[in-house]
Amino acid sequence: MASTNDLKNGMTLDIDGQLWNVVEFQHVKPGKGPAFVRTKLKSVLTGKVVDKTFNAGVKIEVAILEKREMNFLYKDGEDFVFMDNKTFDQTNISAQTVGDAANYMLENTEAIVAVHEGNPLYIELPASVELTITYTEPGIQGDRSSGGTKPATVETGIEIQVPLFIKQDEKVLVDTRDGSYQGRA
């Protein structure tokens, strides 16, 4: 249990049996009435964001999340198989839990898996990953006031926008948060 005074961004709370991450919080001390804490919470399972207000000093249940370093091994049907780097145990994680991270994972990709009471909740990838361009049209230089971009397919199958000078079979860095091109690898 923690008090509302102990809230921090990124903290995971257990409210009514559901897990919520604190996105942001603000202590408010109005001229009249008691102080309170205004929070923005994001559901760990669904990703839904809600605003919730707590009275100052109220006790809140804090969820203990264990973050394990794991290695993505292979895809088994709809599930993704990960190996714990310390215990070498293999764990099957559903595609729903992996979510958009699947677009940036190759075999042997390092990831951090958040686990609560033995259940994997979500996957955290590094900020950027190195992927190879498998297909892109040749870029044509022309009359442009700024640098242009073109679509390119990477080895995981997703399509990203890259500058015109990028060629097929080049390695590029891709941002795992929004899928944007960051540079050559």
CATH topology for 2-60 is SH3 type barrels. (2.30.30)
The model's pLDDT over 111-121, given as tens digits with 9 standing for 90+, comes to 998 888 888 88
pTM above 0.75, yes or no: no
The DSSP bridge partners found for residue 177 are: none
Superfamily of 128-184 according to CATH:
Nucleic acid-binding proteins (2.40.50.140)
* All residues at 6 or more sequence positions from 159 whose CB lies less than 8 Å from its CB, including other chains: 151, 152, 153
CA atoms of 39 and 18, how far apart (whole Å): 16
Helix (H) or strand (E) holding 93, with range, is strand 90-93
Tokens for 143, please give them: 């009359």
Average pLDDT for 73-77: 88
* All residues at 6 or more sequence positions from 158 whose CB lies less than 8 Å from its CB, including other chains: 103, 104, 179
* Average pLDDT for the chain: 86
The residue extents of the domains of the chain are 2-60, 66-124, 128-184
Q: Quick check: do 2-60 and 128-184 share a fold? A: no
The model's pLDDT over 23-69, given as tens digits with 9 standing for 90+, comes to 899 998 988 888 999 999 988 877 789 999 998 888 988 888 888 89
The model's pLDDT over 127-150, given as tens digits with 9 standing for 90+, comes to 888 999 998 888 776 656 566 788
What pLDDT score was predicted for residue 173? 92
CA torsion sign, 22 to 26 to 29 to 32? negative
Class of domain 66-124: mainly beta
Q: Parallel, antiparallel, or unpaired: how do β-strands 59-60 and 159-163 relate? A: unpaired
